[in-house]
């Protein structure tokens, strides 16, 4: 009796968990996922921008941490741009992402390379190198936003 009750309770728990997960559509979850990663990218780019501009004192470890996180984050948003995620929640993604997928992927790859180079420059602590690598990275964000994000 006791054991049976446990099984029922566990089944009910599982059902409530899966209800939670599926109450949202797959497209909505994808859109929120990619926007969340992009927001985190914006957070770390902003932290580095403040230090490059001198609005915040440069701290090698703090800067390097953000550069490493950004480089890792740059690998992540693309899972959230799968087929069928053009709509399903408020989004600024342009339809061209799915009609010109090769260009979108190549711009994403470029951004990943730029962020990896920025993480390397950050580890050197050399501000001249950092500024160049930071500018190149920020440019890859802008290029893709100009091409693939609505205003
Ligand atoms: C290959 C294309 C691409 C690259 C590279 C890219 N983004 Fe984005 N970004 C997008 C798209 C598309 C959206 C809109 C996503 C949506 O609304 O579904 C977006 C949205 C955003 C948003 C808004 C998120 C929100 O909904 O609040 C921020 C912030 C952002 N990106 C930051 C960055 C930063 C910082 C970089 C560079 C380090 C970057 N992005 C690089 C394509 C890109």
Q: Confidence band (pLDDT; 50, 70, 90) for 9?
A: low
In a domain, 141, yes or no: yes
d(Cα 82, Cα 39) in Å, to the nearest integer?
19
In sequence order, the 6+-apart residues with CB closer than 8 A to the CB of 99 are none
Instruction: Residue 109: give its domain's CATH number.
Output: 1.20.120.10
In a domain, 1, yes or no: no
89: its two tokens: 């929640």
What residue owns the CA closest to ligand 1's atom 12?
Answer: 93
Taking a C-beta distance cutoff of 8 angstroms, is the pair 56, 141 a contact? no
d(Cα 9, Cα 142) in Å, to the nearest integer?
51
CA 132 to chain centre: 22
What separation in Å is there between the alpha carbon of 2 and the centre of ligand 1? 52
**Res 8 pLDDT > 50:** yes
For 60, the domain range is 27-148
Q: Scanning the structure block, which residue is given the tokens 């996922």?
A: 33
**Res 23 pLDDT > 80:** no
Paired residues of 93 in beta bridges = 149
Q: Give the residue from 149, 6, 4, 126 showing the smallest Cα distance to 67.
A: 126
In a domain, 16, yes or no: no
In a domain, 117, yes or no: yes
User: Structural domain tally of the chain?
Assistant: 1
3-state secondary structure (DSSP) of residue 93: strand
**Res 82 pLDDT > 90:** yes
In a domain, 110, yes or no: yes
Q: Is 42 in the pocket of ligand 1 (CB under 6 A)?
A: yes
Q: Which of the listed residues 38, 68, 96, 117 should we mutate to test ligand 1's pocket, taking the one with most ligand atoms within 8 A of CB?
A: 38
**Res 85 pLDDT > 60:** yes
In a domain, 122, yes or no: yes
In a domain, 22, yes or no: no
Q: Report pLDDT digits (tens) over 44-75.
A: 999 999 999 999 999 999 999 999 999 999 99
In a domain, 9, yes or no: no
Residue bearing the bigger pLDDT, 9 or 122: 122
Measure CA of the first residue to CA of the last residue in the chain; give whole Å.
Answer: 61
């Amino acid at each position: 009796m006791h054991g049976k009750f446990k099984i029922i309770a566990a089944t009910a728990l599982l059902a409530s968990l899966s209800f939670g997960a599926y109450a949202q559509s797959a497209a909505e979850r994808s859109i929120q996922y990619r926007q969340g990663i992009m927001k985190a990218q914006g957070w770390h780019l902003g932290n580095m921008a403040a230090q490059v501009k001198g609005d915040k004192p440069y701290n090698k470890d703090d800067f390097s941490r953000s550069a490493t996180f950004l480089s890792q984050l740059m690998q992540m948003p693309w899972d959230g741009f799968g087929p069928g995620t053009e709509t399903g929640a408020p989004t600024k993604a342009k339809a061209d992402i799915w009609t010109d997928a090769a260009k979108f992927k190549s711009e994403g790859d470029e951004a990943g390379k730029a962020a990896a180079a920025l993480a390397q420059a950050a580890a050197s602590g050399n501000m001249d190198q950092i500024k160049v690598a930071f500018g190149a990275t920020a440019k890859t964000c802008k290029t893709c936003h100009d091409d693939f994000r609505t205003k």
